Structure 1
Amino acid sequence: MVLSIKTRRDAVGLATGELLIGGAWRAAADGRTWTHRHPATGEQVGDFAVASPADVDAAVRAARQAFDEGSWPRSRAKQRITVLRRMAELIRSHTDELRTLQALDNGVPLTFGDEYAMSIECVADVFDHHAGWVDKLAGETLPGYQGGDHLVMTLREPVGVVAAVVPWNGPLLLAAQKVAPALAAGCTVVLKPSEFATFAALRLARLFEEAGLPPGVLNVVTGPGDPTGQALITHPMVDKITFTGSRAVGKRVLAAASEGMKRVSLELGGKSPSIVFPDAEVYAAATLTMGTVTLGLSGQACVAHSRALVHRDVYDEFLAIAQGMTTLVTYGDPFDPEVTAAPLINERQRDRVLGYIERGQAEGARLVCGGGRPDGELSAGNFVEPAVFADVANSATIAQEEIFGPVLAVVPFTDEEEAVRLANDTSYGLAATVYTADVKRAIRMARAVRAGTVGVNGYQLEPHVAFGGFGQSGLGREGGRTSIEAYTEVKTVLIPTGDEMM
């Protein structure tokens, strides 16, 4: 039997994806296209336009005109709220279609698409949440510091044209986390989805048209980093860049932004620890930790807890449960309800992960299980069997670098002081989870661990709270008030109320 997604692809009726520029859908100026192949089967999913630098220029200029001359930045709060809430309603009413497109994009199984953090409901909630902030973007009124008859006040105004660059692992959620606050603040946007997850984002853009978003406020350019992404992040008319992806690319984004002093938000991944104390529910700690690197996206998520720091008293127990978890992982057709995990996104990433597994063994870590490639009907896909490494030194490559695959490095520790030292011994600082029955210890650890989000006995993403990281996990936060404020500039206004000079 040969695994195939052709039936699902044909049922959707995917045509060549076009660019959205200034309210019009069109092919790339030079006619260039990209063929997307499904990561589980290698079959062609569809073609989409590759935006040239000229196409990107047209998209940015359309966004610039919509910002400088259009109604959206100057619209009443009610208009923006109506569009964003209508968008949330449309997303919910197209749940099955969007789930299908996402599975055709990146192979994430529908079973995982039902989990809240990766669900279509969560995407809709992001728009609902930011709609609620539109009429609350308040400044301050301050007394004159030196006294006298004058008024000091601040205003929050939209930052301008936003370049939003989105990765393939969460094409809908991550697009929402960037586009929703930008639009709520009154900005205009040029969205570039990943070339490995384009069709769901294009459908999202068409829903915006139905929601009543004015032409030019949202533009979409598709294609790889070169030429499309590079042309976008270096365009002089872009005021802000928001990017989620690898640290290496994030550094290039930051360098490009420095030329024009563009505002930047970066979410660049992590090497997040699960910290398991001997009084924890070890079964829950092991299954939840292993789930982040095996189920759903197979560890291809920035918040994957790919380091397990485990107290020596429960080390063997944790390892046994984690190994047992790998037997529950099933690969195959993402539309099959029995399938629980995705393939790696492409051959390059598959080979990269296999290279890390080889390096882990070469550096002395003990491979407990996994790390190979399944055969049979899965051999054409980019699948890698979940790997568990024991006796890992925290300085080892597999404990320090983001692998973005189904690989867990288990590091032993002896006491709380050592656990904090190991947890913070990383260049990243995105997330962490502490497993303990001691509330006081949980609070101490939450304060001591340098990470943007710390869970206690579990970890959950929410659309209304700040998400981002310390160190090389990025700059800024997405979600909550901090997110929408990142798409604004603060303007100070000084108003004399008397006859004296200020």
Structure 2
Amino acid sequence: MSLTVQQHRGNVGLRNGSLLVDGEWRQARSGETWTHLHPATQEEVGEFPVAGAEDVDEAVRAARRAFDEGEWPTMPAGRRAKLLHRYAESLREHADELRGLQALDNGVPLSFGTVYAGSVDVAADAFDHHAGWIDKAGGETLPPYQGGDHLAMTLREPIGVVAAILPWNAPFLLFAQKLGPALAAGCTVVLKPSEYATFAVLRMVELLADAGIPDGVVNVVTGTGEPTGEALITHRMVDKVSFTGSREVGRRIVEASAPTMKRVSLELGGKSPALVFPDSDAGLAGMTAMGMVTLGLSGQACVAHTRALVHRDVYDEFIGAAEMIAASVTYGDPFDPGVLASPLINERQLKRVLDLVERGKQEGARLVTGGERADGDLSAGNFVTPAIFADVDNSMNIAQQEVFGPVLSVVPFTDEDEAIRLANDTEYGLGAGVFTADAQRAFRVSRKLRAGTVGINGFQVEPHLPFGGYKQSGLGREGGRSAYEAYTELKTVLMPLTEEMM
């Protein structure tokens, strides 16, 4: 019997989406809509408006009014913090509903929705964390440098109207990592969710109003990159753009920011290496790397360790452990608790992954297992069996391009210097892993890696730590104090304290 997800629509309360402009939910002026197809079955799940330039303009102007004339930017710190903490609790209360909506959005199984990095809990914790900065992150009072009786100080003020553009693969976390610090700082927001993960995000926005966030502070425009995203990133009243997604779109955002000097935060993907040394538990390393590449998001995670750089002495042990994980991955109905991994998000990405697998074989890498489209009851969906490539040269396409699928490339190395050179030989610099029993080596190697986040003998997500990348993996950081400050402007104030100084 063919797989279907239609029976779950009513159970999670899914309904067609709308735009949110100044507290009003409505349709696009053009009447144009997007019909969402479920990636596991190609069934129609629901539809939502495609916002055009006029809709985006109205949303941005609503955010502008809320910032320039509304109470949010100047609301007392204690009150704004209480509202965001209240919202975090609301997210936790609606966790099951939101996980179900996400499963109908992007096919991420409920089993992964309980893992911290993919859960509603991580989003709630991020809001709690950023709310905690509201009454703590401020400016400084500095002594006069040249002498005299005057006051020198700095102030942190909200940056203004923020365009927050979300990807489809981690809507809970990235909703919180963008809106959490923006709202905590006193900014107003126009949010664009991915067209492949809209329904859960719309419900999260509804809960903001229930928590007491004033109308106009958060507005939502749904739709595609063109026309919706393009109209948003080029709007002259937007002060900052925060985006997570592809390098191509990131470059367009940098270009579009130039005329008005918009502030920009970008997270643009990675080709993260796991460096596995001969003194490590190579079996654990193999299971960890292959788990990141296959379980949950099926490798559709920017920080997944998709390149394994493995010492020749433990090479076979590593591959054997990775094969074991590959064999344990299960696909199917995302509401089935026994399903452990997602389909690829759309047919375009399915074709791209299969093409890169073929290219890897043509370039001479050894395909150990997988790399085929699933058949049988799964044939209508975008499922690819977990693939392991061995004997990969670091110059091959599968070692350099972000596949964004369940494909692990295993590259052998001989010594520490070679491992570091191979790890840094990429245009990306988002994450990395170091597997070793030698603490000195762990820190020594971590300091030499050109990556924004390095995990030692494991990897996890923490909402209070900065996350972002070196090189072409992006600009800026999300999470922690640095994220809060990225949504502020720093103002210097000088005041003479005697008439002689005037």
Which TM-score band applies after superposition, normalised by the shorter structure?
A: over 0.9
Give the Å deviation of 1:324: 1.9
SS in structure 2 of the partner of residue 417 of structure 1: helix
- Please list, as runs of the form range in 1=range in 2, the aligned pairs for 1:54-203 lying within 5 A after superposition: 54-203=54-203
Give the Å deviation of 1:327: 0.6
Tell me, in whole angstroms, the C-alpha distance in 1 between the residues paired with 2:83 and 2:13: 28
Q: Unpaired segments of 5 or more residues in structure 1?
A: none
2:426 counterpart letter in structure 1: T
Tell me, in whole angstroms, the C-alpha distance in 2 between the residues paired with 1:88 and 1:334: 25
Give the Å deviation of 1:251: 0.6
Q: Does 1:18 align with 2:18?
A: yes
SS in structure 2 of the partner of residue 260 of structure 1: coil
1:365 counterpart letter in structure 2: A
- Please list, as runs of the form range in 1=range in 2, the aligned pairs for 1:42-441 lying within 5 A after superposition: 42-441=42-441
Tell me, in whole angstroms, the C-alpha distance in 1 between the residues paired with 2:143 and 2:13: 62
String of CA shifts for 1:229-265, please: whole Å, max 9, x gaps: 0000000000000000011111111111112100000
Tell me, in whole angstroms, the C-alpha distance in 2 between the residues paired with 1:395 and 1:146: 56
Contact 2:268 2:473 (C-alpha < 8 Å) held by counterparts: yes
Contact 2:272 2:432 (C-alpha < 8 Å) held by counterparts: yes
Tell me, in whole angstroms, the C-alpha distance in 2 between the residues paired with 1:286 and 1:332: 25
Q: Does 1:33 align with 2:33?
A: yes
Give the Å deviation of 1:9: 1.2
String of CA shifts for 1:386-445, please: whole Å, max 9, x gaps: 110011111111101101000000000000000110010011110001000000000101
String of CA shifts for 1:57-100, please: whole Å, max 9, x gaps: 00000000000000000100012101100100100000110000
Tell me, in whole angstroms, the C-alpha distance in 2 between the residues paired with 1:14 and 1:365: 44
Give the Å deviation of 1:7: 0.6
Tell me, in whole angstroms, the C-alpha distance in 1 between the residues paired with 2:137 and 2:277: 43
Give the Å deviation of 1:40: 0.3
SS in structure 1 of the partner of residue 45 of structure 2: strand
SS in structure 2 of the partner of residue 34 of structure 1: strand
Give the Å deviation of 1:173: 1.2
SS in structure 1 of the partner of residue 97 of structure 2: helix
Tell me, in whole angstroms, the C-alpha distance in 2 between the residues paired with 1:463 and 1:374: 35
Matched-pair identity in %: 67
Tell me, in whole angstroms, the C-alpha distance in 2 between the residues paired with 1:172 and 1:295: 18
- Please list, as runs of the form range in 1=range in 2, the aligned pairs for 1:435-450 lying within 5 A after superposition: 435-450=435-450
Which deviates further from its counterpart, 55-64 or 356-365? Answer: 356-365
String of CA shifts for 1:10-44, please: whole Å, max 9, x gaps: 32342220000001101111111100010001111
Tell me, in whole angstroms, the C-alpha distance in 1 between the residues paired with 2:444 and 2:62: 51
Contact 2:434 2:454 (C-alpha < 8 Å) held by counterparts: yes
Give the Å deviation of 1:2: 1.2
1:485 counterpart letter in structure 2: E
Q: Unpaired segments of 5 or more residues in structure 2?
A: none
Give the Å deviation of 1:172: 1.7
Tell me, in whole angstroms, the C-alpha distance in 2 between the residues paired with 1:282 and 1:118: 26
**Given the two structures, how large is their TM-score scaled by the length of structure 1?**
0.99
SS in structure 2 of the partner of residue 134 of structure 1: coil
Contact 2:148 2:501 (C-alpha < 8 Å) held by counterparts: no
**Given the two structures, how large is their TM-score scaled by the length of structure 2?**
0.99
2:467 counterpart letter in structure 1: F
Contact 2:119 2:172 (C-alpha < 8 Å) held by counterparts: no
String of CA shifts for 1:89-137, please: whole Å, max 9, x gaps: 1000001100000111100011111111111111110111111000012
Count how many residue pairs are aligned between Structure 1 and Structure 2.
Answer: 502
Tell me, in whole angstroms, the C-alpha distance in 2 between the residues paired with 1:265 and 1:88: 24
SS in structure 2 of the partner of residue 162 of structure 1: strand
Give the Å deviation of 1:316: 1.2
Tell me, in whole angstroms, the C-alpha distance in 2 between the residues paired with 1:60 and 1:79: 25
